């Protein structure tokens, strides 16, 4: 089952032999970089404040230190996201695919950075599955893609995140379809699994093994509804913040 609203672009015979290079748009990467710098700056300021407060008031100092640690962890998370978006590069040549895959290409799967060229004749299939992660009553949905070589070797490729929200992207769905068309093998859909969302989807997250069985349809529908609700909640929160900011600016 592909993500609702996506329509992968499949390579045609006239373009299948042409070399094509894929990179993520620079906009999202620059946004992640800005967020990492901003949160990192806040972390440094809070750490300095915590050190000063510890000499004046232990309670406030420890609270400031805890918030500084939280922001520092969030900085590392966003920086990893930036590295994954900025460094990913895939070239579809006539007879092989060249993959430059940074470690941050997934924020949940713990995969190493890899740079490899694989002949199409060595690829058995491109595999994909939906992954749902719940945390604090919310849920996020993503679609992960992997490459299965004829030797049985498994290689995690990339993931489309924030499905069922306004931030959803189908960039990798199109790329996976074109890669599958070049290899002549199937684009194999493995269904949906549910992983551990940890705390806020940032700390303590854990993905299911790739061989894990797909969830029953009823559970899949529940996760989809929760993901849609989470996206609506995030959108509403953003609008409220913007409205408050506009009112404060207008009324001074």
The pLDDT value given to residue 252: 58
CB atoms near residue 221 (< 10 Å): 12
Q: Tokens 């406030």, residue?
A: 60
pLDDT score of 237: 65
pLDDT along the chain (252 residues), means of 10: 40 58 89 92 94 88 91 92 92 95 91 94 96 89 95 94 81 92 94 90 87 95 90 71 68 63
CB 34 within 8 A of CB 62: no
CA-to-CA distance for 189 and 101, rounded, in angstroms? 22
| This prediction's pTM | 0.81
Distance of CA 23 to the CA centre of its chain: 15
Confidence at residue 10, expressed as pLDDT on a 0 to 100 scale: 41
């Amino acid at each position: 089952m592909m993500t609702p609203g996506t329509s992968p672009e499949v390579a045609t015979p006239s373009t299948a032999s042409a070399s094509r290079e894929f990179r993520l748009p620079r906009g999202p990467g620059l946004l992640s970089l800005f967020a990492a710098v901003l949160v990192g700056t806040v972390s440094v300021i809070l750490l300095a404040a915590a050190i000063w407060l510890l000499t004046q008031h232990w309670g406030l100092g420890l609270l400031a230190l805890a918030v500084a640690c939280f922001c520092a962890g969030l900085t590392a998370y966003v920086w990893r996201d930036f590295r994954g978006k900025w460094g990913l590069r895939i070239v579809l040549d006539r007879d092989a695919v060249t993959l430059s895959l940074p470690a941050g290409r997934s924020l949940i799967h713990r995969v190493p950075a890899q740079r490899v060229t694989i002949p199409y004749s060595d690829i058995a299939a491109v595999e994909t599955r939906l992954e749902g992660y719940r945390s604090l009553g919310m849920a996020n949905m993503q679609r992960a893609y992997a490459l299965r070589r004829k030797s049985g070797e498994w290689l995690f490729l990339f993931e489309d995140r924030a499905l069922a929200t306004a931030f959803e992207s189908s960039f990798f769905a199109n790329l996976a379809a074109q890669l599958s068309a070049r290899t002549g093998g199937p684009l194999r859909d493995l269904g949906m699994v549910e992983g551990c969302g940890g705390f806020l989807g940032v700390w303590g997250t854990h993905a299911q093994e790739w061989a894990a069985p797909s969830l029953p349809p009823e559970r899949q529908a529940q996760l989809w509804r929760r993901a849609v609700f989470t996206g609506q909640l995030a959108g509403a929160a953003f609008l409220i913040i913007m409205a408050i900011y506009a009112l404060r600016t207008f009324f001074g």
